[in-house]
Amino acid sequence: MAGDRFSRPARVACFQAATVAALLAASALVAGSARGATATIGRTWPIAEPDALAEIEARVAKLPTNLRSKFGPRARWSAMKAATLGIASQERVRSVIPFYTLDTDVTLPDGRVLYPKGFTFNPLTYVSLPQRLVIVHASELGWALRTAAPTDWILLAAGAAAGPDPIALGEKVRRPLFLLEERVKDRLGLTVAPVIIRQIGQHLELTEVGPRSRAFEQESPR
C-alpha cells in the first residue's frame, strides 16, 4: 500500500526542493540522530508531546480525496514549477560558500539582540550535508538514478520543454524526487545540469557533468 500513500496529492510537498538553508538544517537533524549514543544514563521519562508523524497522517486523512476540483490540474500548480537550467556541455568543478544574511534581528527572551539584522554567516560552519544533491533534467533521470546513492537527493530542473511532473516520475521510479527552486538556483549560481553538489569542509563543491562523462557512465558495465 506504500504506492497508494505515495501518490496522494498531499504528498506534493515531498517533491518541493527546500532552500539551501532548509536542506542543511534537515541534514543536521539526520546526521545528529545518526550519531546519537545508544546507551541510557540516568532517569528517563516518556515523551509527552504527540508523535509528529501521527499528527501529520491524521490531518492528511481529513483532506478531501481529490483536490483537483479545488486547485485545478497539477501542471498549473505554482509548487510544480521547476527552475530552468541549460544543458552541461563540458566538465567543470567549482566551489561555493552559501553565506546567509539575516533579514531580521534574532533576540533573546529578554529582548537583547543576539544576532542583528544583516549578520552574515556560513551555515556549513555549524551543520553538515551528509548526502549529495544530484540535479538533472527529466531526460537525464535514468542517469541520475544510476549515479545517485540511495541517500542522495535528486532534484529535477526544467529545460526548454515543459517542466517535469515529479509526482508521476516519482511513482514510476519508486523514489522521492524534488524540484529545483529558483531560490536554490540563484543561491548557488546554477546555470546548467546535470550537476552534483556535495559538501567538502565549509564549502560546497559543484561538479557539472559533461556529455562525455554521462556517456561513459552509461556504457560502463555494472
* Dihedral sign (CA 169, 173, 176, 179): negative
Q: What is the mean pLDDT of residues 160-170?
A: 67
Total domains in the chain come to 1
Q: What percent of the chain has pLDDT over 90?
A: 36
Q: Tell me the backbone φ, ψ of residue 100, rounded to 5 degrees.
A: -125, 135
Chain segment 15-38, per-residue pLDDT in tens: 344 445 455 444 444 444 444 455
Question: What pLDDT is recorded for position 56?
Answer: 84
Q: Of 55-64, 195-204, 213-222, where does mean pLDDT reach its minimum?
A: 213-222
**Quick check: is 47 in a domain?**
no
Residue 60 banded pLDDT, cuts 50, 70, 90: confident
Classified as helix, coil or strand, 115 is strand
**Quick check: is 39 in a domain?**
no
Inform me whether the pLDDT recorded for 82 exceeds 70: yes
d(CA 182, CA 105): 25
d(CA 81, CA 197): 21
Residue 193 banded pLDDT, cuts 50, 70, 90: very high
Range of the domain at 67: 2-33+54-219
Angle at 149 between CA 95 and CA 79, to 5 degrees: 75
Question: What pLDDT is recorded for position 26?
Answer: 46
List residues bridging with 94 in a β-sheet.
206
The pTM of the whole model exceeds 0.85: no
Angle at 23 between CA 18 and CA 25, to 5 degrees: 125
Q: What is the mean pLDDT of residues 131-142?
A: 92
Question: What pLDDT is recorded for position 173?
Answer: 87
**Quick check: is 99 in a domain?**
yes
Question: What pLDDT is recorded for position 68?
Answer: 60
**Quick check: is 15 in a domain?**
yes
**Quick check: is 89 in a domain?**
yes
Residue 168 banded pLDDT, cuts 50, 70, 90: confident
Q: Give the C-alpha distances (Å, rounded to integers) separating 52 from 56, 114, 204, 209.
A: 6, 30, 31, 39
**Quick check: is 46 in a domain?**
no
**Quick check: is 66 in a domain?**
yes
d(CA 83, CA 92): 20
pLDDT greater at residue 137 or residue 37: 137
**Quick check: is 42 in a domain?**
no
Residue 115 banded pLDDT, cuts 50, 70, 90: very high
